[in-house]
Structure 1
Amino acid sequence: MNYDIIRLLDKYMGVPLCFLFSIIDSLFPKGKKREIKNILIIRFWGIGSIILSSPTLKTIRENYPQAKIYFLTMKRNEGVYDGSNLMDEIIYYNFKNYFNVFKDFFKVIFYIRKKKIDLAIDLEHFSKFSSIVTYLSGAWERAGFFTKGQHREGVYTIKVPFSDYHHVVENFLNIPLYIGLKSNSGNLVKLPVTDKEKIYINQLLEKNKVGKKDLIVGININSSDFAIERRWPKEKYVELADKILKKHPNAKIFFIGAKFDKEFVQSTIDMIRDHSK
């Protein structure tokens, strides 16, 4: 999936639109406080960050047990929270191609607005795209990060400072605190695992001659193509695997990733095999 069009929209239209929406918002007061019945939580990018948002999702669920909670993310993240009770519905933005980008965008916006959102929470801290979606959701209250130099905070009614010096879990948990909620400890919520997934993993381990008592090391060497520059060079992973095997000679190392990561992962594994000869 290519996100170049979203990057361009974010770069050239994001700030002007956020500024425009902030002016419109200042001209029309939001009115009296509403009961929070429908909540939208947005996190588009990064499966890792989506998992790290689980303590915040749990906090929202615990503070609003009767509310309907909707989680909006990209289609490519499908499956992460399947079966979870942290939200009532997961809405996927399925960006297919350049020609349908606006059609898909407004399709999602219209669907969200039908839900009559009372509180929208934007867990992105750089993207103006998510800020625009947050504003267009029609939410009465909108919470999001104030990130230096991004010029996106004007669309939010609750502005939360984002700190580069704190872990992302702590940053996420600051949002419910600024809303006025009591946050939990920050421990990650265990994701539900289906029987089908358990069978698949057991078969995979058996196929690779991995016993139940073996030390299993899982390494994700990939980075989303939305920010590929975050990815470590292959040579670093070869060095890391070498150090792990020197300390734990019987360890079983598994490299994980999505289908589109397969070529990069396989080439790294080949480098490790050549290095160990």
Structure 2
Amino acid sequence: KKLPEKTKKIIFVKFAAVGDIVLLIPTLNLFKKKFPDAEIDFLCTNINSGIIKTIPFLDNVIVCKVYDFIKNPFYFLNFVKMLRKKQYDLLIDAEQWARIDAIISFFIKKKFSIGFKTKKQFRHYNYSVSVDHSRYNHESENFLNLLKPLGIVAQESDKIPEFYLTDDDIEFAEKYWEEKGLKNQKIICFQPGCGTGSFAREWKEENYAALGRKILEYDPGIRFFVMGTENDFEKCQKIVYGIGKNSENLAGKFSMGKDLAIIRKTELLVCSNTGILHMAAAIGIKTIGLHGPNNPKQWGAYSEKAEVILSDIFCSPCLYLGHEYGCITPVCMPRIKVEDVYLKVREILDKG
């Protein structure tokens, strides 16, 4: 197929996950810059719809309830029927591995399509043009390569991720600081959770608690916000109890945007490789990313303010497709020592 002469209607497809969307935003920005008058739709799931809906220049966000396909086959048929009412000039499938995106993309009416060719996934036959996915590129750069068939080559300045905080979220954080009397307070954020099925990437609660106590020995005035979703509340509470003082459990209390607005006003964030790491980096916060199964060269926070601590075990990192962990019982994250993270925190705080 040939590229359409005019690109007026486009649909991006990506069913997961939050961190991926942060790293995809530079691609969306660059596309919009090159095609300012194009109508851009985004097909996603409830996993990542929250962050996608914050992107201001998208015209339509279409949420696919994938699990409902299993419960009710008629939902699938009706969903496909709804998608086929539109004729797109271009479809870009930004999913790297999962095949469900490719299956849904097959049914969408489009003149031209672009997607990844990932080794042993056999999903690239669905597209007019496929782009090689490389485990040796940063994922943000892999996403930008999807635009090369359109003659769009990213410059270094195009690669920086963004996160779109609303005025309401920023105002909320300002009021929160005022009500809590946090002016001139040094605050460090911890986020222990990595989402469903990603426990192998998590650093244990007792490690965060020990890190907090050690930081308090260095500076008794420092405070801690322990962040996460509602599902993380109990593990966050263990950390708060373990630190003993100057710490607050904010897990599940606020929206994602409000959490980010709060993090934006703190000194730094310590967490594993998860969506919040990329969002915090995108709003310019100093981060310490703890990496075991994930390769920071591919999945690290894309920021000059990002610090990396990588497990020292020989088999780390092991992930490429995101699920092929090299062991049943995770051994890489426990190898990350509290002392090493503490020294990195000290280094950041001392630099100011």
TM-score (norm: length of structure 1): 0.74
Choose between structure 1 and 2 for higher RCO, CA contacts under 8 A separated by at least 6 residues. 1
Aligned pair partner of 2:159 in 186, 203, 206: 186
Question: Alpha-carbon deviation of 1:247?
Answer: 5.7
- Tell me which residue corresponds to 1:12: none
- Does structure 2 retain, via aligned residues, the 8 Å contact 1:46–1:224? no
Aligned residues: 244
What root-mean-square deviation, in Å, do the aligned CA atoms of Structure 1 and Structure 2 show?
A: 2.9
Structure 1 residues 115, 183: closer, same or farther in 2, change over 3 A?
farther
Deviations along 1:43-68, one digit per CA (max 9) or x if unpaired, are 22121221221101101111221111
Deviations along 1:87-143, one digit per CA (max 9) or x if unpaired, are 111111235657535344344333322221221112221111111122222222221
* Matches for 1:117-132 after TM superposition, within 5 Å: 117-132=88-103
Question: Alpha-carbon deviation of 1:234?
Answer: 2.9
Unpaired runs of 5+ in structure 1? 1-29
For 2:72 and 2:193, the matched residues in 1 are separated by: 26
Structure 1 stretch 228-237 or stretch 86-95: which is displaced more? Answer: 228-237
SS at match of 1:160: strand
Quick one: which amino acid aligns to residue 178 of structure 1?
P
For 1:43 and 1:190, the matched residues in 2 are separated by: 17
For 2:95 and 2:43, the matched residues in 1 are separated by: 11
- Tell me which residue corresponds to 1:92: 63
Structure 1 residues 31, 148: closer, same or farther in 2, change over 3 A?
closer
Deviations along 1:249-272, one digit per CA (max 9) or x if unpaired, are 544332322223323333343344
Aligned pair partner of 2:190 in 211, 219, 231: 219
For 1:139 and 1:77, the matched residues in 2 are separated by: 23
Quick one: which amino acid aligns to residue 210 of structure 1?
L
- Does structure 1 retain, via aligned residues, the 8 Å contact 2:210–2:242? no
Are 1:202 and 2:168 counterparts? Answer: no
Q: Identity percentage over the alignment?
A: 27
Are 1:262 and 2:242 counterparts? Answer: no
For 1:192 and 1:56, the matched residues in 2 are separated by: 19
Q: Which protein is richer in helix relative to its size?
A: 1
- Does structure 2 retain, via aligned residues, the 8 Å contact 1:71–1:90? yes
TM-score (norm: length of structure 2): 0.60
- Does structure 2 retain, via aligned residues, the 8 Å contact 1:146–1:152? yes
